Amino acid sequence: MLPLLALALGTLVTLAVWQGRVSDERQRGQARFDGVVQAIQTDINDAFARYEQVLRAGQGFASGGSVGRGDWRRLVAALDLPSHCPGIKGLALVLPVAESERESFLALRRREDAGFHIFPDRPRADYFVYTLVEPAEAKAPAVGFDVGSSPPRRAALERARDTGTTALTEPVALLSPSKSGSDFLLYLPVWRDGAPHGTPEERRAALTGWVGLAFNLSATAAKPAARSTTAWAMTPSAAKSAPSTAATPCCR
């Protein structure tokens, strides 16, 4: 009887120890998993903060007045997006164009780009046109695209305009899509310099356009840039005077 009792007790003790070890291992595994998730979330949050810095640099730049292709190219070169803001595919200036202003707008843009046209080519009450896009690989398929013809893009533009803050699209198919498919657009409104924009009505009256960037979420999470607690910004005058070879990081 005693040997059987000892065996039973030994089995129970062994089972209790085993269960304790399994529980400990599960807890350690869960802790490791939670740590990885937290690190990825932190990297994504940091990336979005940097993306907003880029948009605000473009906003300040564009609010200073007329912007040409060379100006926009110098701004984007100075931001050095590929090195310091991984995931961003391009930075664009979107301009609103009423149907009544379409022909004069096209004539103005064709002074710099003889082949500039708005597409899809169908009459609308208004157009939200990708007017300036950099870098070059992002520019080719996008310049002239009427962002307002795409419901998810238009919804984000109008939300940014009416709230005065950044607005994110749902996942979209870019004009030059990535293989992963997890592409998004982020927009920020541009106001006429000095115009009040404290209410939705004032914002609509003061709007001159939007700055927008396209990014790939997978690339954003996979290749985080070095974190920074230092806010970065570039004034319109500084950006316009920056040489085309400048490499001022947006997110060190």
Residues 6 or more apart from 247 whose CB is under 8 A from it? 77, 78, 80, 83
Q: Please tell me the least confidently modeled range out of 24-38, 122-136, 149-163, 173-187.
A: 24-38
> Is 135 inside a domain boundary?
yes
Element at 209 (helix H, strand E): strand 207-216
> Is 18 inside a domain boundary?
no
Backbone phi, psi, residue 2, to 5°: -60, -45
Instruction: Kindly report the CATH number assigned to the domain that includes residue 177.
Output: 3.30.450.350
SS3 146: strand
Compute CA distances 187 → 44, 57, 164, 184, whole Å: 17, 13, 10, 10
Confidence check: pLDDT of 37 > 70:
no
Domain of residue 132 covers 50-241
Tokens of 166: 């950044």
Confidence check: pLDDT of 145 > 80:
yes
Confidence check: pLDDT of 240 > 80:
no
Residue 239, CA atoms < 13 Å, CB-side half-sphere: 30
Question: Are the C-beta atoms of 59 and 188 separated by less than 8 Å?
Answer: yes
| pTM for the predicted model, two decimal places | 0.75
Residue 237: per-residue pLDDT: 46
> Is 28 inside a domain boundary?
no
Closest CA to 74 of 237, 201, 202: 237
Question: How many residues are there in the chain?
Answer: 252
Q: Please tell me the least confidently modeled range out of 59-73, 194-208, 228-242.
A: 228-242
Q: In sequence order, what DSSP letters do the residues of 157-201 get, joined into one string?
A: HHHHHHHSS-EEPPS---SS--SS--EEEEEEEEEPTT---SSHH
Residue 36: per-residue pLDDT: 66
For residue 10, name the pLDDT band (cuts at 50, 70, 90): low
Beta strands in 25-141 (DSSP E): 88-98, 126-134
Cα gap 245→14, rounded to integer Å: 69
Residue 12: per-residue pLDDT: 52
Element at 6 (helix H, strand E): helix 2-62
Cα gap 93→211, rounded to integer Å: 5
Mean pLDDT of the chain: 80
Element at 216 (helix H, strand E): strand 207-216
Confidence check: pLDDT of 230 > 50:
no
> Is 17 inside a domain boundary?
no
Structurally, how many domains does the chain consist of? Answer: 1
> Is 7 inside a domain boundary?
no
For residue 182, name the pLDDT band (cuts at 50, 70, 90): confident
Residue 46: per-residue pLDDT: 85
> Is 193 inside a domain boundary?
yes
Per-residue pLDDT reduced to its tens digit, 104-143 = 999 999 999 999 999 998 899 999 999 999 988 777 789 9
> Is 184 inside a domain boundary?
yes
> Is 10 inside a domain boundary?
no
Place of tokens 């664009």: 92
For residue 179, name the pLDDT band (cuts at 50, 70, 90): low
Stronger pLDDT, 107 or 25, i.e. the higher one: 107
Confidence check: pLDDT of 20 > 90:
no
Q: What is the mean pLDDT of residues 89-114?
A: 95
Residue 247: per-residue pLDDT: 36
Question: Are the C-beta atoms of 99 and 124 separated by less than 8 Å?
Answer: yes
For residue 21, name the pLDDT band (cuts at 50, 70, 90): confident
Place of tokens 């000095």: 194
Residue 130: per-residue pLDDT: 96
Cα gap 13→15, rounded to integer Å: 5
